[in-house]
Structure 1
Amino acid sequence: MNAIELPYLKDVFDRLKRGSHLSPEDEPLFSALASRAQDYADYFAPLGLRLVRHDREFFYFEPDYADKVPDTLPKIAVFSYILVDHAANQGRPVEEFVMGQNFLLSRLPHFALDRYVALLRQVDVEDLGDVKLLLGHMERIGWIRWEGEEEFRFLRPFHRVFSKCLELAQRAPVAPIAPAVESSPSA
């Protein structure tokens, strides 16, 4: 196959090789890739790159070393867990809460509770500046999009980590509630 036959090949390759994800928000690259996904996969395969098309309609390269955890992944996992926990504590549908709205950096729940702060400190996230750096990384890989100076929203590729957070949250054991003990009046 001739590389010239694949539209936007250089741009698609550059974005995916840097660890980014391409989703419907990434036009015209996404449409070019979606319409000829197998052709792109066949082109990348001899280079040792496996193109993945996720069920939620986005693309990425399978990581070179699946057993090597990027430094940012634990931070992203804790960041995500806090959003899931916050939504669940409010009784809101978690996926709708996370994927269906824009967030303001200054209104995130991450520093509202001591237990959230403790979790963030375990992964060296100390303040909103660190959260903004983390979100900048998430933007570079196609998981969020900034909508303003401090407003952002999650994109489809965020499901790679978000789905795992939901799965873990559903498997977590629920502590049984101890029955209330009625005290009898003393005579």
Structure 2
Amino acid sequence: MQLDLSELTQLAPIFRELFKGFHISRRDAELYAQLSNCQDQYRGLFKALGFELVCDTRGFYYFVPEITAAQVNKTAQRLSLFTFILVEHLADQGRDPLAVLDGGSLGREELPSLLDKYRDLFLQAEVQTQEELEEKVMRRMTQLGFASEENGVYRFLPPMHRFLDVCLAVQQDRDLAASMHSHLPLPVPELVPSEEDTAVAHTDDPLDLTPFSDEETEEQALARAIAQEQQEMDA
């Protein structure tokens, strides 16, 4: 395929955002329109550079590096764990988690009660205070295109479906285990020590969701990380 770079008018900002792990959705109107209109050209160019451009049918684009990482990194663990916590918290309140995480919002004033309720889990993610929750989780979500923030209100964007898919995968595994009357624990991953995060990852992608092995999908890899946290909470 012949590439006409003159057509790729947003190449520099698109690559810069995708390379740092940002998820481009319809909210990023100009970049999203360019990707949608020239999807094949961008996919071919990025593949030559060693990146897979993924277009999720729910309305967002992101990079998956071809070089696989050995572990799910700390950022991915924190964000997936937070999503799992939030799903359970909303369900306990009688609120529809999907309605909130699929375009809904969460107020900053709700964070303290969430932190208190799941303090043990947050401690495992090295989050102890509301300031750390906002810095390590909420701010990273906005930086990577999973949410936007305005006047203390976090609104969730379509890329949140990546983490919702993981939550559903975990729930399906638990339902299957229950239906089989199995007492076997879900697979437990080897967590990455925080000081080794950079050394383990083979890419600059701050949200490397590549699988643990050739047989696992990114959803399964994150599901393994969440499963360990849930096991320790239930213990």
TM-score by length of 1: 0.84
Moved over 4 A (4+): 173-176
Give CA-to-partner distance per residue, 1:51-84, whole Å, 9 cap, x none.
1101212101113424431211121122111110
What pairs up with 1:47-86 in 2 under 5 angstroms? 47-63=49-65, 64-86=67-89
What pairs up with 1:1-187 in 2 under 5 angstroms? 1-63=3-65, 64-108=67-111, 109-113=113-117, 116-133=118-135, 134-148=137-151, 150-173=152-175
Segments of structure 1 that go 5 or more residues without pairing to the other structure are: 177-187
Give CA-to-partner distance per residue, 1:135-159, whole Å, 9 cap, x none.
11111111111122x2111111111
**1:141 & 1:80 partners in 2: Cα distance?**
15
The residue identity in structure 1 corresponding to 2:81 is V
Shift of 1:172: 2.1
Contact 1:16 1:61 in 2 (8 A): yes
**1:107 & 1:26 partners in 2: Cα distance?**
27
Segments of structure 2 that go 5 or more residues without pairing to the other structure are: 180-235
**1:112 & 1:53 partners in 2: Cα distance?**
37
The residue identity in structure 1 corresponding to 2:29 is E
- 3-state SS of 2:25 partner: coil
- 3-state SS of 2:68 partner: coil
Q: Which residue does the alignment assign to 1:180?
A: none
- The change in CA–CA distance for 1:175 and 1:87 in structure 2 (over 3 A counts) is farther
**1:22 & 1:100 partners in 2: Cα distance?**
15
The residue identity in structure 2 corresponding to 1:49 is F
**1:60 & 1:66 partners in 2: Cα distance?**
17
Residue identity (%): 31
**1:77 & 1:13 partners in 2: Cα distance?**
25
Structure number with greater CO (CA < 8 Å, separation at least 6) is 2
Q: Which has the larger radius of gyration?
A: 1
Contact 2:101 2:160 in 1 (8 A): no
**1:68 & 1:51 partners in 2: Cα distance?**
21
**2:150 & 2:168 partners in 1: Cα distance?**
25
Give CA-to-partner distance per residue, 1:63-113, whole Å, 9 cap, x none.
342443121112112211111001222233220132242211221342242
**1:112 & 1:99 partners in 2: Cα distance?**
25
**2:160 & 2:100 partners in 1: Cα distance?**
14
TM-score by length of 2: 0.68
**2:55 & 2:133 partners in 1: Cα distance?**
29
Contact 2:103 2:157 in 1 (8 A): no
Contact 2:60 2:159 in 1 (8 A): yes
Shift of 1:4: 2.0
**1:151 & 1:20 partners in 2: Cα distance?**
20
**1:111 & 1:46 partners in 2: Cα distance?**
44
